[in-house]
Amino acid sequence: MRKVLLSLIGLLTLVMQLSIAQGNEKQANTINPLLPSGADPWAIYQNGFYYYTHTVGNKLVLWKTKELQKLKSAEVKTVWTPPPAGPNSRDIWAPELHFLDNKWYLYYTATDKQKPGDDTRYIFVLENTAADPLSGTWTDKGKLNTNYSGLDGSVFEHKGKRYFLYSAYVGSQSRLFIAGMLNPWTLQEDQVQIAAPTYSWEDQGGRQILEGPQFLRGKKKKIFIVYSAGACWSDNYALGMLTASAKSNLLNPASWQKSPEPVFKQSPENNVYAPGHNSFFKSADGKEDWILYHANSKPEQGCGSKRSPRAQKFTWKKDGTPDFGKPVPTGLSL
């Protein structure tokens, strides 16, 4: 009897240890939300670190970590605050950090405190020559020479050429434009519209909006621009996608084909609403593709501080297009 009792105690102890280990593993791996709050998330992997940023509103802040799922304990630093007046003095939105020509560049959207609004909202850029973007000095390189006011500037390189994407205010709509770049702060004169809102799901919350364009290099010689559609205050805010051949002229509007349906949208069954303004990053070993985005956990939470940054791995379909799946619930171990 004693042997049986000791065996039972040993078995129960083993079960408890396994349960605790699984719980600790789940706690260590749980990734969403990455932070309690943060819209327009962006991450880049460089020199063994993930550098992350999101919209704070009144300054530019960078996070630095070796493991993105540990963002809550990452090193954090405010690297720039806006001037008290001028064209970039208010509404500091949608920052993106890029490493170009062995220098760091921070692109961001801003407007004028004295006359704020869409008419004075433009994209600006800062430059830093330090090896670590959390150190060194950020130099103001000014406003990019876009043909329209707008927001959400992004940069990508393809076949040795550098391109700039942004969302332009054209009348009552927001449309997507692309341009070549002379240098990291100057666009070429040829700035081309590649997409306008044409579907009902791009007209949500009372506004026809295409914004937050992001480049994604695909499979089978395809490239993509994934964008946010509709108004951010709508639960139906979602991601759309443009597709082009990697061999095509990216400055030719005919090169881009728009998907007729959203490629990533709300999931009420998973309590995820208004997912949008995404970016992309790879795992540290370069083998996994991840999408980074913000979303709300309840309906009708709008564009405020309830939005939190989330990330999940995605795969590829046989035709070479991305398969983002559904937004996963918060607290899920990934």
Catalytic site includes residue 211: yes
Report the alpha-carbon distance of residue 314 to residue 317 in Å, rounded.
10
Q: What's the pTM value of the predicted model, to 2 decimals?
A: 0.91
Rounded CA separation 40/308 (Å): 9
DSSP string computed for 203-231: EETTEEBEEEEEEEE-STTEEEEEEEES-
Comparing C-alpha atoms, which of 31, 26, 57 is closest to residue 43? 31
Catalytic residue among 96, 203, 211, 289: 211
Is 118 annotated as catalytic? no
Q: Where are the domains of the chain?
A: 38-323
CATH fold of 38-323 = Tachylectin-2; Chain A (2.115.10)
Cβ proximity of 293 and 313 under 8 Å: no
**Measured torsion, CA atoms of residues 202, 208, 214, 217, in degrees rounded to the nearest 10:** 40
d(CA 152, CA 68): 23
Three-state SS at 137: coil
The answer to whether 214 and 152 are in contact (CB under 8 A) is no
Catalytic residue among 40, 152, 203, 289: 40
pLDDT by position in tens, the chain (length 334): 444 444 544 444 444 444 444 444 444 576 899 999 999 999 999 999 999 999 999 999 999 999 999 999 999 999 999 999 999 999 999 999 999 999 999 999 999 999 999 999 999 999 999 999 999 999 999 999 999 999 999 999 999 999 999 999 999 999 999 999 999 999 999 999 999 999 999 999 999 999 999 999 999 999 999 999 999 999 999 999 999 999 999 999 999 999 999 999 999 999 999 999 999 999 999 999 999 999 999 999 999 999 999 999 999 999 999 999 999 999 988 8
- Beta pairing class for 273-282 and 257-258: unpaired
